[in-house]
Amino acid sequence: HPAPQDARYALNLVLQQCQTIEMQQKAVQALIFKCDLLWTQLEALDRGDTRPGVQHERE
């Protein structure tokens, strides 16, 4: 399964490239945004809300 490899790669990238607290915080915020986006997509698929341009009420 590629998820553990992806996580290791991302962690190593952040540790190598994000030398300041500010850069590390931005990396964490980007990850949170990505996870929120992916969960929103999964929830929409689960509910069948897959029609483009159609507004759906949130629970």
The string of pLDDT tens digits covering residues 40-49 is: 999 988 888 7
Return mean pLDDT, the chain.
Answer: 87
Number of domains, the chain: 1
Q: Which residues of 6-44 are buried (b: 16+ CB within 10 A; e: fewer)?
A: eeeeeeeebeeeeeeeeeeeebeeeeeeeeeeeeeeeee
Pair 26, 33: CB distance under 8 Å: no
In a domain, 23, yes or no: yes
Using CA atoms, how far residue 13 sits from 30, 38, 43, 44, in Å, is: 13, 21, 29, 31
In a domain, 26, yes or no: yes
Domain containing residue 31: 16-45
Average pLDDT over residues 20-47: 92
The yes-or-no verdict on residue 59 having pLDDT over 90 is: no
In a domain, 54, yes or no: no
In a domain, 21, yes or no: yes
In a domain, 5, yes or no: no
Q: pLDDT grade, residue 20 (50/70/90)?
A: very high
Q: pLDDT grade, residue 19 (50/70/90)?
A: very high
* Pairwise pLDDT comparison (52 vs 38), residue with the higher score: 38
Question: What span, in angstroms and rounded, lies between the C-alpha atoms of 16 and 13?
Answer: 5
